[in-house]
């Protein structure tokens, strides 16, 4: 017991010292202090022994979106394997910023040893972060809004999502054409980076015209309406990039409603099961999968290492892959070990 208490005390002192350091605002895509998910064991050694008395909290955007349910599945996999307590909670919807903040503050008041948070905006969980800092409790920011003050972040390179889709259009439409973006929530780091990645890459090619870039706030219905308007204004459009899969599936419906499925390619982001099913049916052209179950497992491993007292890079980057009909079957595997090997080969 004495050894365990000393370990917890050392961990708390370590966290307090690191929080006390002055860190520049975090830009997770370009932060130089980073480690790839495949390098954790080689860089920091094997996973430390985990105290079964630990209490870890996960604070998600919402459980109405499959992506966030899958992220929680990753957390739960590690908790079950190691026998510690995990509480995974989420706001009622992706606009309930105060509700999400209340969840985080409640967990902090209940003696949890660390938090994994996926903020709805870059700022709404800042008060909870300040509370955690004052208590020396490590908080890991996990995909996709980014708190500028975050000491640790786990997630993919958000800008690369848009870059990968733009490169698909450049390869498959060498003649160019008109394209459009359906953005996520304004002011959220991930949405801005995904949009910028697509816009900068596609316009730099010189053969494409970006005719519209409209926020739909992660809503499938709003994405449908925005896409319908764009298609009416630009009947010769050749493609859409949506910042998440829910919106992309709304765009697919809008494209189908005007009988332009053969003409208009539609890409999303996240890799939810409905997106995979739509790709296999020949509806959605593709998605950039960021593998939320694996991301959840990596994020909670990082938190456990921090609690153990390890000094981890500010950013731990997780994998992503462009999924189309050609590789959808391979990446659909439910065998997590097989998926990890497949991603390491990329």
84: DSSP letter: -
pLDDT 10s digits, 167-210:
999 999 999 999 999 999 999 999 999 999 999 999 999 999 99
pLDDT at site 21: 61
**Element spanning 247, H or E:** helix 245-257
User: What is the β-pairing status of strands 34-36 and 315-317?
Assistant: parallel
Residue 135 lies in a domain: yes
Domain identity same for 150 and 38: yes
Domain identity same for 272 and 304: no
Rounded alpha-carbon distances, angstroms, from residue 11 to 113, 268, 304 = 10, 40, 10
Domain identity same for 50 and 193: no
Domain identity same for 42 and 72: yes
What's the mean pLDDT in 303-310?
97
Q: How far apart are CA 71 and CA 158, in angstroms?
A: 16
Q: How many domains does the chain have?
A: 2
Q: Please answer whether residues 158 and 197 qualify as being in contact, where contact means their C-beta atoms are separated by less than 8 angstroms.
A: yes
**What tokens does 263 get?**
């003409």
pLDDT 10s digits, 108-117:
999 999 999 9
Owning domain of residue 102: 2-156+292-318
**Element spanning 266, H or E:** strand 265-270
Would you give the distance in Å from CA 147 to the centre of its chain? 13
**Among candidate residues 154, 157, 107, the one with its CA nearest the CA of residue 132:** 107
47: DSSP letter: P
Domain identity same for 265 and 296: no
32: DSSP letter: S
Domain identity same for 136 and 15: yes
Q: Please answer whether residues 331 and 342 qualify as being in contact, where contact means their C-beta atoms are separated by less than 8 angstroms.
A: yes
pTM (2 decimals)?
Answer: 0.90
Helices (H) and strands (E) in the chain, counts: 13, 13
pLDDT at site 19: 58
Residue 269: which CATH number? 3.40.50.2300
* pLDDT surpassing 60 at residue 154: yes
Asked which of 289, 306, 337 is the last residue of a domain, the reply is 289
């Amino acid at each position: 017991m004495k050894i365990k208490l000393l370990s917890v005390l050392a961990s708390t002192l370590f966290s307090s010292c690191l929080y006390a350091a002055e860190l520049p605002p975090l830009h997770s895509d370009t932060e130089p202090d980073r480690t790839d998910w495949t390098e954790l064991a080689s860089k920091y050694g094997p996973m430390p022994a985990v105290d079964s008395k630990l209490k870890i909290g996960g604070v998600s955007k919402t459980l109405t979106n499959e992506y966030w349910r899958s992220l929680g599945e990753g957390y739960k996999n590690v908790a079950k394997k190691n026998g510690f307590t995990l509480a995974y909670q989420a706001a009622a919807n992706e606009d309930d910023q105060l509700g999400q903040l209340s969840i985080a503050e409640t967990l902090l008041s209940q003696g949890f040893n660390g938090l994994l948070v996926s903020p709805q905006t870059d700022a709404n969980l800042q008060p909870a972060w300040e509370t955690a800092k004052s208590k020396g409790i490590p908080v890991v920011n996990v995909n996709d809004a980014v708190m500028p003050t975050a000491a640790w972040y786990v997630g993919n390179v958000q800008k690369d999502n848009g870059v990968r889709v733009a490169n698909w259009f450049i390869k498959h439409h060498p003649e160019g054409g008109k394209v459009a973006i359906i953005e996520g929530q304004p002011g959220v780091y991930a949405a801005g980076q995904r949009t910028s990645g697509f816009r900068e890459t596609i316009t730099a090619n010189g053969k494409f015209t970006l005719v519209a870039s409209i926020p739909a706030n992660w809503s499938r219905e709003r994405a449908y309406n925005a896409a319908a308007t764009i298609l009416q204004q630009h009947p010769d459009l050749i493609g859409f990039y949506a910042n998440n899969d829910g919106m992309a599936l709304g765009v697919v419906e809008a494209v189908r409603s005007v009988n332009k499925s053969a003409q208009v390619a539609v890409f999303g982001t996240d890799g939810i099961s409905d997106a995979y099913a739509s790709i296999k049916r020949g509806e959605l052209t593709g998605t950039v999968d960021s593998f939320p179950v694996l991301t959840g497992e990596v994020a909670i491993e990082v938190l456990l290492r921090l609690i153990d007292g390890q000094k981890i890079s500010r950013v731990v980057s997780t994998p992503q892959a462009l999924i189309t009909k050609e590789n959808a079957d391979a990446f659909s595997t439910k065998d997590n070990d097989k998926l990890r090997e497949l991603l390491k080969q990329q």
